[in-house]
């Protein structure tokens, strides 16, 4: 019994420690985007025009997004469908009018809901982990003067923000106009962070007031 409970708790902890991951890699040869949980998910290769479904890092299925050549169009006969005539009765309406809704309460509920959603999005952005963010650019202009000016701006930026030095590299091409490079970006969010902030959002939302107002709106008050 205790062994089973321990195994279940370990599995739950392992699941909560997994990370929702979004990764993009751009280069002259590769244009890949990955979205998934841990190392399992969907990888879209725009260069090869294929989509791979990965499980623990291994591709278990590859789907080609290229459309096969269309053959000769087949003749399709369309059968006419007879129109169905329905007899509609006269609707009976009850006399009276609905009571005015609690407009102020709806406005207050809407403002509180928007504030809760805004805080939720801010908390999600704070929980994002930048696993990798690198870029390497090689480029030049027709005039070496412009290339040197851009190269000077690059060194000024690195001097102002030294943390960008290992992440952003620029190599000037003095021979002429050209542009090439690679970029890699990987963002992640732990599952426990997403679940915790979602629970906080649920407690922040005025759900009971929304339920009461919806119930009153459906019920309504009819006056003769």
Candidates 9, 204, 221; CA nearest to 101 is 221
pLDDT digits (tens, 9 = 90+) for 152-178: 888 888 888 888 878 888 888 888 888
d(CA 127, CA 3): 34
Rounded to an integer, the average pLDDT of 50-67 is 83
133: three-class secondary structure by DSSP: strand
From the CB of residue 193, how many other CB atoms can be counted at a distance below 10 Å?
19
CA 58, distance to chain mean position in Å, is: 23
Could you tell me what percent of the chain has a pLDDT over 90?
21
pLDDT digits (tens, 9 = 90+) for 112-148: 899 999 999 999 999 999 888 888 888 888 888 888 8
d(CA 23, CA 44): 10
d(CA 148, CA 140): 9
43: three-class secondary structure by DSSP: strand
d(CA 131, CA 122): 19
**Phi, psi (5° rounding) for residue 22?**
-130, 120
- Is the pTM for the entire model greater than 0.75? no
Candidates 224, 3, 181, 212; CA nearest to 109 is 212
d(CA 116, CA 124): 12
pLDDT digits (tens, 9 = 90+) for 65-115: 766 555 544 555 566 666 565 555 555 545 444 444 567 888 888 898 999
Task: Report pLDDT for 126.
Answer: 92
d(CA 185, CA 135): 9
Q: Quick one: angle between helices 103-127 and 191-204, nearest 10?
A: 160
């Amino acid at each position: 019994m205790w062994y089973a409970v321990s195994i279940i708790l370990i599995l739950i902890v392992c699941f909560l420690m997994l990370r929702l991951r979004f990764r993009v890699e751009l280069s002259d040869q590769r244009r890949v985007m990955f979205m998934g949980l841990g190392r399992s998910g969907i990888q879209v290769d725009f260069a090869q025009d294929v989509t791979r479904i990965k499980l623990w890092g291994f591709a278990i299925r590859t789907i080609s997004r290229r459309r096969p050549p269309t053959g000769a169009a087949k003749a399709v006969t369309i059968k006419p469908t007879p129109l169905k005539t329905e007899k509609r009765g006269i609707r009976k309406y009850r006399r009276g009018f609905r009571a005015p809704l609690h407009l102020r309460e709806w406005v207050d509920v809407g403002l509180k809901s928007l504030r809760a959603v805004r805080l939720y999005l801010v908390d999600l952005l704070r929980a994002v982990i930048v696993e990798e963010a690198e870029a390497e650019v090689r480029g030049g202009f027709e005039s070496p003067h412009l290339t040197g000016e851009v190269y000077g701006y690059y060194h000024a930026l690195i001097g102002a923000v030294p943390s960008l030095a290992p992440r952003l590299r620029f190599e000037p091409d003095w021979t002429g106009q050209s542009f090439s490079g690679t970029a890699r970006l990987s963002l992640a969010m732990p599952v426990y962070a997403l679940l915790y902030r979602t629970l906080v959002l649920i407690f922040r939302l005025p759900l009971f007031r929304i339920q009461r107002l919806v119930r009153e709106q459906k019920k309504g008050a009819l006056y003769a």
